A and B are shown apart, each in its own frame.
Chain A
Amino acid sequence: MKSTLINPNIATIQTDTRFADQVYLLPVTPEYVESVVEKERPDGIMLAYGGQTALNCGVKLEEAGILQKYGIKVLGTQIPGIQKTEDRQLFKDSMGQCGVPVLKSKTVRNFDDAKKTAEELGYPVIIRVAYTLGGRGGGVAYNEIELHEIVERGLKASIVGQVLIEEYIGHWKQIEYEVMQDYDGNNIIVCNMENVLAMKVHTGDNIVVAPSQTLDNHEYHMLRSAALRATKHVGIVGECNIQYALEPNSDRYVAIEINPRLSRSSALASKATGYPLAYMSAKIGLGYNLSELVNRITKSTTACFEPSLDYIVCKHPRWDFSKFELVNRKLGPTMKSVGEVMAVGRTFEESFQKSIRMLDIGNDGLVLNRANGKSFDDEELENKLSHPDDKVLYYVAAALKAGFSVERINNLSAIDPWFIEKIKNIVLLEEKITKEDLGKSLLFEAKKLGFSDKQIARAKNKNPDDIRKLRKEYGIVPSVKQIDTLAAEWPAVTNYLYLTYGGNSHDIVINPEEKGIVVLGAGPYRIGSSVEFDWGTVNMVWGLQENGEKNISVVNCNPETVSTDYDICTRLYFEELTQERILDITEFENPKGVITCVGGQTANNLTLGLSKHGINIMGTSAQDVDRAEDRSKFSAELDKLHIQQPRWQAFSNLTEAKNFAQEVGFPVIVRPSYVLSGAAMKVVWSQDELKTYVKEATDVSPDHPVVISKFMLNSLEVDVDGISNGQEVIIGAIVEHIDSAGVHSGDAMMCIPPWRLNNKTIETITEYTTKIATTFNVKGPFNLQFLVHDNHVYVIELNIRASRSMPFVSKLVKINLISLASKAILGIPLPKITKNKWQKIQNYGIKVPQFSFMQLDGADIALGVEMQSTGEAACFGSSFYDALSKGLTSVGYNLPQTGAALVTVGGSQNKEKLLQSIATLKNLGFKIFATEHTAEFFEEKIGEIEVVHKISEPQRKPNISDLLYERKIDFIINIPSTSTLEKYVGMLDDEYQIRRKSLELGVPVLTTIELADSFVKTLDWLKNNKPTIDPIEPYDPID
């Protein structure tokens, strides 16, 4: 069977041609999908694997008659089935027909009706306001007085004068079931899950355990039967997820929704059980019956069974709120997390504390962290418990310490008392280890409750290594256990493993004759570290295997990755990426070495510590990695090579810092020298700002100085990705950022080949790259970042590891850099590769960031030095604009051929720069709206511009706000005054309002000159051209 994949996500391993016969890096929109269909003429289409995007696209293809036109069968759940779950009314009707209760609610237009409805439903009720975005204006009413206030406010806020009154179930348990069903109607439950933070918090932001812990047999099977009934009734084929709310004080329940597709929950369920839902679902879509499929773990039993677990899984979301200014950290019905981890253990406490460490946010568990011991007053705690944010469970611990009863915490937070009791066990043990002597049984108890050596060391004022030594003297070591889908009832042939202190024997033995290699993955997805490192990890495993290595172990803890598929490597450890755990694993495995260069910064940070504990680091040595990571050592090396850097210095007092800034001139970039993930970099424009910042930074980490470097305005940023074996250097490509320096490299649009660099600069960059890679004895992948200012080349940083842009470079240039890196690491000679192959590529490749501002209530969308994008797409084309048009469409920009644009530009220099673009827009027939000053400038040069007034002056018409609501604006060019960095001088609230409002209404906003310029040129190009539709080509074979 031949398969074709459409996905513009360049960085994912999915879009390696190894996984499908044809891969199209194209937007998943009905138009582009039709073009591919036209070309490939497939017999069937699968819609359930590409999230909501693919599902929506499929429904549109059906509605437009395209599936019928080309005679394409939907494989899996048919369109009417999808509609029965996606359309709220159809869903309610369907559930009614199969006897599954749903939530009662009613739409009302006045307070009297609201009151009547609330009385019928019973208080508390939740009021949802129709047609305002982000759920603003709604709320929970516990009595008539509150109802009155919220309903009146809501009716005013709603454009259509309606509010929805619904029974409030925030304190109900949130339970999910994953269901599989085949065309014959055989169906099974693969997994159920329970959300610790109840219904209050979106499941994506919830801490989730599998299996459910507080349900009894009756409740479990009541919901199970309902799930089977519901999926049979709507006609699911393949996999689906059903979400319930269950009353905590009775067995009353309602179905909230059904997802007729693979989801984040199904990825989690697959990893939590070892049952590969997507794989099985695809087979079922092709027509296999559940009983014909074989359990992938036992390879002998049937796939038509319900996995039994003999461990508890804990999923913890990862948030990156600190990257966003003005963002609201409260958790609620909108998902805000950017990634997640999954921990496996044999007590809740163990799983939960492991999950916290896996997040890589600098915490070693729930208690005994670096920043410990802050106390709160009761009122503050009550507030924090009833309005959860990302730290809610830490507040549960704090409340317990402050003497709150379990019942009181349960009343405030809606967290089931069972979970609070478990947290209490952790809190009590903290007290015990702090006070008592660390005897064998106490230490063992602490380990069983998931305490790390670091936490214990902190309690005892010791070094973690002392604890490790003591522990081993006592013989307290973790057991290696298998995840086998059948709780040990049948032998497992795959090695899907975790470590636990809840056991006294290992499930497997390692044959000392078969020493392996351990590859460290990248941990949770987060801003700045995402699918690209999964691509790197998987390609490294394959590369090692292709070069004759038989035993490869992977350590990772991210359930959303391919690197945590147990059939990718020989042994998969679903485990923490912490020094303690990696040492546990290496002591068990006794491997040839550990590879830390493909797991992003998380793995890279472990290099030095592991090396100091005698672990063989394969690839670039720990000392060389350290020389690159340590800014002073790095600078010294560059000086020796006579290679320039932007001027920088480290400071621990303000006077020196001020003097330096004065000397090099503002703006400067400041950052703490010791950066825990997420700690802020900032561009500083004045002495006052510098003073505030230095104070903040030294408050955060008093022992670590602040680094200040010159910020060069009007310069270009360039990334180089390459491979070296210490002697030879292979450059993957030189990648130019389209946005000017100052926009974080992860947020910038990137282009290969570079289009503004001259040959001389390219030569200099090539020369520097070779020199630096050999000087640092790089053995494996590396990434160099340069700044080009007035034709001078400066080095910003060297990362001796796989980088974010490597999949992009590899796929466009058709050199699999990680495959090459595996050779370099194993000491196998590098193959001969055409010199500067990247320059001989005919295609253009453009990478475009994907943002998720919509979900982050309050966040500003203007870009800066902190990375904010949560993903990316890249498309190839025969010209710059061919590639760019597809790239922009992929990340959600609508490219209109006619319509209206709103232009607000600060500063005359910016206006000047945009003049050509605005003129082009006018020529294309766009109507141009602009604010007063902007309009004045452009009108003078290019004629008629319509003046509109600021949101902050609502009485003045025409007003931007009205135009936005009336959908009279197709896109907005909003360049913050004087430079893109203006927001750091003092953000203008009005501009923020425009950006935020348009975002919520789905109107694209272009906030940099380069983006605006490219966007307009793309529109111009599209007038006379059509984007090309071509599959990508596989990597060139290397011998």
Chain B
Amino acid sequence: MRYAYYPGCSLKGTGKAYEESLLSVFRTLGVELHEIEDWNCCGATSYSSVHNSAAFALAARNLALAEPLRMDLVAPCAACYLVLEKTKRYIRNHPHLDERVRRGLQAAGLRYEGNVRVRHPLDVLVNDVGLDAVRAKVKRPLDGLAVAPYYGCQVVRPYSTFDHQTYPVLMDRLLEAAGAKVVRYPLKTKCCGGSLTGTQPDVGVRLAWFLIREAKKRGADVIATLCPLCHFNLDSYQDKIARTCEKVSVPTVYFTQLLGLAFGHSEKSLGLHRNIVSAHAALASRSLATAG
């Protein structure tokens, strides 16, 4: 199985642990990723509010770079995933926009024909690799580890390409395949605070607090995320939450880190040491911590 790979900025920065764990999990499962050359910022949510067609052209440049590889394009960051998917659809459905983007790309000597399929790693793992193949690679089942599966909003909304829009379940199934105990977590697609943690911290941090508090209440040892921004908001503000809301703490990990642990990789190789709120103690309490 081969895929083109668009890491986006987060996976090279704040979400480095996501990239490290994703690459090692995919390697174990025999999934090849080919990072597209000279990729650029996806524009995230902010650029389209500043300049709509330029934002689409910016994102389309990545699609144009990926198209000649003739492989599905894996975008692990939920924001990148959504922006690329949205760009594809907007170009397809709005001829006026398509024309402007086409001219923009042409100026850079590029063209995009509309043939790139954008995939999230969760989709690839469940629908292409398959739960049986995942199960077959599990060396150290995550026995007893209670996980709150947190999807955030962008992977399933507004386009529910591979899972339910308000009540997705595929990460639940995947973590169960790795042996984890998935707790029922009705906040699985509630807002993490998004960029409000920076712009309106009172509001944003409060939203993150709800998620952590409820995970704790439901007995979760860790919260599993699949989006670098969700991870950042849940992992980085727990001291602020303790100061302004409530003293409550649950470590946040990427779902790929949990899979990696089940496959027998070390905490370090999965980037678990990069967490602000360390998951080591939680993992140790279930005898899942590794040396190094």
Are these two chains actual partners, yes or no?
Answer: no
Seen from chain A, the residues whose Cβ lies within 8 Å of a Cβ on chain B are none
Binding site for A on B (CB under 8 A): none
